[in-house]
Structure 1
Amino acid sequence: MKVEIWSEITCPWCGLGSHRLDNAVERFEHRDEVELIHRSFPLSDRLPVGGGLSVRQGLKEIHGVSGDRVEVLPRRVEALAEKEGLVPYIVLENEVGNTRPAHEFLAYASAQGKNRAAWDQIFRAYFGEARSVFTVEALLDLADELGLDRDETRRVLGDGRFRQQVQDEARQAQRLGATGAPFILIDGHYAVPGAQDTDTLLRRLRQAWDATHPPLVQLPLADAEGACGPDGCAVPATHPAGA
């Protein structure tokens, strides 16, 4: 079973949604047969390259949030994360910025076989430690932590060789009907928008599995032991297979 999740790195619901999906897969009876793939859905083109804008400023100036909601909305996500064991989870006292370079870094890490490790690492760095993920140097530090070649990572970020892939992944999500992030697709057919809770995600995994793996129905054979009928032959009780 292939499970794909599209995320924006600095979206607090995406970090929480990824955590919930991990928990759902861990509880899923067929978890060893799940291929979990993270994909990019950048939503930060209006934000400054290099970061430096506080979450409070971003909510006010970019998203038009005003009044108490500037404090209430981030605190709500932080409280949900804490309730689900995702601590620390820093939203309000963080910075935002343009994430295009970070998504290109993640695409490169994925090409090196580190898709899930890279996404887990960048969410942990950003929400768990309030580290910048907006500058080349910050991304090179992440490359070191993932065991990626620092010089090659710098070249990748400089020449933009994964820029088209990031754009294509975002367009793919939109073609599938995504209007925001996170967005989950199970086996290419079952879409789950938003940061659904773990129990809901687990039900969706089970529903998708049951739809593609119908149970085996065994019909009875003839009553006569060892007799062959028009539909097959029963195994005699004296046969090794029936013993």
Structure 2
Amino acid sequence: MRIDIWSDLICPWCWIGKRRFEQALISFPQRDQIEVVHHSLQLDPAMPTDRVVRQTDMLVATYGMTLAQARASQLALERTAATVGLEYHLADRVVGNTAGAHQLVQLAGDRGVQDAVVERLYRAHFTQQRSLFDHECLIGLAGEAGLDPDEAHRVLAEGTYADALDADARQARALGATGVPFFVIDNRYGVSGAQPPEIFIEALSHAWADTHPAEERAEEAMTHPA
């Protein structure tokens, strides 16, 4: 069964949502038969590619927060991340255009190391304060996660996957996504946001039962014999 996940690599809820989904998978009996595919959905694709802004300044400008409110929001997110084993350092984070980073995620999908690259980019941004907006830094991170740095360089220089990013965004909109993270389970069940693991387990179970009704009936008979 296939799970498609739309996210943006600078969205703090996306890494939290990914980890909650993975916690749900641990409890899912058919977890070894699950394929996960990551897709791109930028929060602000129009963001300039030649500069970055402090996340606190972006929160103030976009949501009308005071600096104190923006920092309180960051602290709350850091605490939430810690509940799923993630280490966030948001006070001095900057944000920018993530198109280059997402192109490397697309490349990683073609090379069979997509999850490793996604995890490496999340950790770089949220934990280590390494840039996802500088090509040289991205190439280094790609190499650390198992991609060929020379190929990563070519992809970034040529914009190889630019059309794939646009296609991901169109597909997300067609499926009704209004934000990230957005999960589609077996092309039939949508889960929006960083939901608790039990929500993911419920959706996974329903999707599996729809796809494998005979198997589910057999398990039910074994659990509740006549």
Alignment-derived partner of residue 168 in structure 1 = 167
Alignment-derived partner of residue 159 in structure 1 = 158
Alignment-derived partner of residue 136 in structure 2 = 137
Is the contact made by 2:5 and 2:39 (CA closer than 8 Å) also made in structure 1? Answer: yes
Is the contact made by 1:101 and 1:134 (CA closer than 8 Å) also made in structure 2? Answer: yes
Distance in 2 (CA, whole Å) between partners of 1:38 and 1:167 is 14
Following superposition, the deviation at residue 152 of structure 1 comes to 2.0
Alignment-derived partner of residue 78 in structure 1 = 78
Alignment-derived partner of residue 224 in structure 2 = none
Distance in 2 (CA, whole Å) between partners of 1:140 and 1:71 is 31
Cα shift readout 1:25-52 (whole Å, capped 9, x = no counterpart): 1221110011111111112334332553
SS of the aligned residue for 1:140 comes to: helix
Task: Return the index of the structure with the highest Cα Rg.
Answer: 1
Aligned length: 215
SS of the aligned residue for 1:129 comes to: coil
Tell me whether 91-100 or 3-12 shows the greater mean CA deviation. Answer: 91-100
Following superposition, the deviation at residue 162 of structure 1 comes to 0.5
Alignment-derived partner of residue 212 in structure 1 = 211
Cα shift readout 1:148-176 (whole Å, capped 9, x = no counterpart): 22222111111111100011011101100
Cα 1:148–1:58 shift into 2, 3 Å: same
Alignment-derived partner of residue 48 in structure 1 = 48
SS of the aligned residue for 2:187 comes to: coil
Superposition RMSD in Å: 1.5
SS of the aligned residue for 1:76 comes to: helix
Cα shift readout 1:64-110 (whole Å, capped 9, x = no counterpart): 33124312222222111112222x12233311111011111111121
Correspondence list, 1:6-25, <5 A: 6-25=6-25
Alignment-derived partner of residue 64 in structure 1 = 63
Is the contact made by 1:117 and 1:146 (CA closer than 8 Å) also made in structure 2? Answer: yes
Distance in 1 (CA, whole Å) between partners of 2:48 and 2:11 is 16
Cα shift readout 1:206-234 (whole Å, capped 9, x = no counterpart): 121122222346xxxxxxxxxxxxxxxxx
Alignment-derived partner of residue 101 in structure 2 = 102
Distance in 1 (CA, whole Å) between partners of 2:132 and 2:17 is 19
SS of the aligned residue for 1:85 comes to: coil
Gaps of 5+ in 1: 218-243
Distance in 2 (CA, whole Å) between partners of 1:122 and 1:100 is 13
Is the contact made by 2:16 and 2:84 (CA closer than 8 Å) also made in structure 1? Answer: no
Cα 1:41–1:28 shift into 2, 3 Å: same
SS of the aligned residue for 1:43 comes to: coil
Is the contact made by 1:110 and 1:118 (CA closer than 8 Å) also made in structure 2? Answer: no
Alignment-derived partner of residue 223 in structure 2 = none
Is the contact made by 2:6 and 2:40 (CA closer than 8 Å) also made in structure 1? Answer: yes
Following superposition, the deviation at residue 195 of structure 1 comes to 0.9
Alignment-derived partner of residue 186 in structure 1 = 185
- Give % identity: 36
Alignment-derived partner of residue 221 in structure 2 = none
Is the contact made by 1:53 and 1:95 (CA closer than 8 Å) also made in structure 2? Answer: yes
Is the contact made by 1:51 and 1:135 (CA closer than 8 Å) also made in structure 2? Answer: no
Is the contact made by 1:47 and 1:96 (CA closer than 8 Å) also made in structure 2? Answer: no
Alignment-derived partner of residue 28 in structure 1 = 28
Alignment-derived partner of residue 220 in structure 1 = none
SS of the aligned residue for 1:38 comes to: strand
